[in-house]
Amino acid sequence: MSYNQATEMEISMFQNYVFSFYGTLAEVKMNLQEQGLWEKLSVYYGIYDYPVDADTLRRSFFTALAQEEEKKADKIYYEPNYEDILLRLFNVKKLKGKNRSPKDIGRFFHLLAAEELTLFPQVKKTLEQLKKEDRNVYLLANAQKAFIKDQLRYFGIKEYFDGLYISSDYSLKKPSPVFFNQVINENKLEKKKTLFVGGDFETDLLPAKKLGYLTCLVLRPGRALSPVEQADFVVENGELKKVLEF
């Protein structure tokens, strides 16, 4: 562990922690190109009286996604909402049955697309300890709401967060400073009492530094620190519990 610009007085003063998710707390690999995903999704809709073949589903989804991104081309760091696209594309109103929620589509899609779901070591114990110490813990993630909430439940860590800031909810993703300001302004996060923690310097931390906040870069095992990664704190080998010492 090392730190660059933080002073001794600033260490241990943190009351608020803002974590990134992918590459920081967990490794999640999704494959939307897998043909088997679309074949199973086709079966899902066929069961509910909405017959459509896998190739049509796949082609229609990616066409709609491209059109959505093109419409928002003038919006910097735009983040489309996959579930919204799925709902519009597949016309959920055609599905019959009283107990079928539109959310089932996003969750089923996520289940089919997920190839790897791995929570990094020390994450759960670190978050648990922060809450025991009455710290405020927030998640600021480039993610799809339809996916990440189930991932947090699966890992058993959703309860540790005081607030979830998911890019698909705001149609913005990091490194947009506007997205960072969502968690900052809504929670009135003071600069000297808040630490941003992430695994990617340019995306997760640099915008926070530019806004005047202290940052902690978490390096996964085997990754060396680059000279351009000027985080205030550096945690090596993925030892997330080291943030408890700040």
Q: Looking at the structure, tell me whether residues 179 and 97 fall in a common domain.
A: no
Structure confidence at residue 8 as a pLDDT band (50, 70, 90):
very low
Task: Tell me, yes or no, whether 81 and 184 share the same domain.
Answer: no
Residue 121, pLDDT score: 94
Mean pLDDT of the chain: 88
What confidence score (pLDDT) does residue 95 get?
A: 58
Report the pLDDT averaged over residues 132-155.
95
- Which of these three, 98, 115, 132, is where a domain ends? 115
Q: Looking at residue 44, what is its pLDDT? A: 83
Q: Which pLDDT band, with edges at 50, 70 and 90, does 47 fall under?
A: confident
Which residue bears the tokens 């600033």? 10
pLDDT of residue 9: 39
Lowest mean pLDDT among 95-99, 130-134, 207-211: 95-99
Residue 184, pLDDT above cutoff 70: yes
Counting DSSP H helices and E strands in the chain, the numbers are: 9, 9
pLDDT of residue 49: 73
Question: Do 34 and 90 fall within a single domain?
Answer: yes
Predicted TM-score (pTM) of this structure: 0.88
Per-residue pLDDT at 13: 75
Domain count, the chain: 2
pLDDT at 25 over 50: yes
Distance CA 96, CA 113 (A): 25
Residue 106, Cβ neighbours under 10 Å: how many? 23
Residues 54 and 88 in one domain: yes
Domain co-membership, 20 together with 79: no
Do 77 and 131 fall into the same domain?
Answer: no
End-to-end CA distance of the chain: 10
The model's confidence at residue 7, banded by pLDDT at 50, 70 and 90, is very low
pLDDT band at 1 (very low <50, low <70, confident <90, very high): very low
pLDDT of residue 170 exceeding 70, the answer is yes
The DSSP bridge pattern shows strands 163-166 and 194-198 to be: unpaired
pLDDT of residue 104: 78
For residue 85, the enclosing domain spans: 30-115
CATH number at residue 209: 3.40.50.1000
**What residue type is assigned to position 187 of the chain?**
N
One domain, residues 126 and 241: yes
- Of 72, 93, 115, the domain-final residue: 115
Q: What is the mean pLDDT of residues 7-29?
A: 82
Please tell me whether residues 80 and 160 are part of one structural domain: no
- Please state which of the ranges 49-53, 149-153, 161-165, 175-179 shows the lowest mean pLDDT: 49-53
Which is nearest to 193 in space by CA: 116, 142, 134, 115? Answer: 134
